[in-house]
Structure 1
């Protein structure tokens, strides 16, 4: 570490302690050249995951884009902001646990659909219609068929 005062690369660490709720380490250093003291912070490097789009271009993974997509899919549904936020966090955690550097937009879309299926079936179909580029009612029906077969409607009383 170079001294910010004399620019020499010769120092010693006087004190180290956790900082920012354990997200960083604060180090108090003393330059062995000029004798002045200064503070440095050590943080883990943020993992950057790129989303590989259909056209082959790459863009950084953005939590906000996932959240906006879920909010559109859940528009006028009885789903709270807290539920959407929890779903976005779960998707983000899955991405960072399962992928190191890149994820395709197709894989990301499937992940979002898995979480939306558990959250709300109507929101799931809305998102799927955009993600899978439905062209007509038959596409909707084909997407709904597995859900309808697994969850038959209860007979009215």
Structure 2
């Protein structure tokens, strides 16, 4: 694994941990040259899954897009990167269990919102505002009122 700081190829594993759900391994590494530490993730490569977008076009499933969306929603919130990774792993596992070849982007968005709502309501509202394309203040108020009723 190449060091992201000095580009050295040689590093040693300092610590390895399995993710909460066992779907990935998190490794802390130390570069043999510059002695700085960095984290890598190892996961099983799964069969291809296509996402059907709103316009009908299809693209390969990309877990990084889900992680990026969750990370944006959780920015400056008390949600760790490990928790976000676990959310994505859970969503990906559920998708692969439920769908053999294709899944709609709507189904993915609903799964993300479900996880965020259970973890952090502010992150949920942030994600929902983009995902559901809120156009005015009333959309925000309606979503917040629904959260209060639960």
TM (norm. structure 1) is 0.65
Residues 112-141 of structure 1, C-alpha deviations (whole Å, 9 max, x = no match)? 111111111000000000000000110011
Paired position in structure 2 for 1:82: 82
Deviation (angstroms), 1:46: 3.8
Give the distance between the partners of 1:66 and 1:109, measured in 2 at CA: 9
Gaps of 5+ in 2: 1-43
After TM superposition, what 4+ stretches of structure 1 lie above 6 angstroms from structure 2? none
Deviation (angstroms), 1:149: 1.4
Shift in alpha-carbon separation, 1:45–1:138, aligned structure 2, 3 A: closer
CA RMSD of superposed structures (Å): 1.5
What pairs up with 1:23-42 in 2 under 5 angstroms?
none
Q: Say which SS state the counterpart of residue 103 (structure 1) adopts.
A: strand
Larger radius of gyration: 1
Q: Say which SS state the counterpart of residue 54 (structure 2) adopts.
A: coil
Paired position in structure 1 for 2:64: 64
Gaps of 5+ in 1: 1-43, 151-157
Q: How many residues align?
A: 107
